[in-house]
Amino acid sequence: MRTSFDFSPFARSTVGFDRMLRLLDGVPGAGEAPSYPPYNIIRTAEDEYEIAVAVAGFGEDELEVKLHDGQLTVKSTPDKAEKEGSAYIHRGIARRAFELRFSLADYIEVSGAHVENGMLHVDLVRNVPEAKKPRTIAIGKADSKKALPGKQAA
């Protein structure tokens, strides 16, 4: 009897590891992914990705995006100051501090980040060096006249 496991929580915090995740399908042990704030990981092209984080209510100065040793961190430091003379009757928009961490695969680089309509967009691109890319080797015909030096053809 085979038990299947859901690796989607693990997949939510990694970018560019698609092949590895497919290989791990069915292997036990998936971690819990943070639920706040909600985010999407989108493949926009063959070697391009985007992480979109819902940051409604946060200003650009309250958000921080860092990349260190293949670990992308999105962090918030909300301004605690409230408008003078105002009091909340109902507070439904969460503005609590958060920290999201994403493990990036080899050769994934951050190409930019911007905030638009309450969403933080972090653009990623995979830049594989030419030496690491697969290449096609031409297959030629064997030359019957070639012989090893010092040996005679039979």
* Distant-in-sequence, close-in-space partners of 60: CB < 8 Å, separation ≥ 6: 115
pLDDT mean over 26-30: 44
Mean pLDDT, rounded, for 105-117? 91
CATH topology of domain 37-131: Immunoglobulin-like (2.60.40)
Give yes or no for residue 1 having a pLDDT over 50. no
Domain ranges of the chain: 37-131
Mean pLDDT of the chain: 78
Helix, strand, coil content of the chain in percent (nearest 5): 10, 35, 55
Which tokens hold the place of 48? 């391009």
> Is the preceding peptide bond at 37 cis, omega within 30 degrees of 0?
yes
Q: How confident is the model at residue 86 (pLDDT cuts 50, 70, 90)?
A: confident
- pLDDT score for 89: 86
pLDDT at 24 over 50: no
pLDDT for the residue numbered 52: 95
With 60 as the cut, is the pLDDT of residue 26 above it? no
pLDDT in tens, 53-67: 999 888 899 999 999
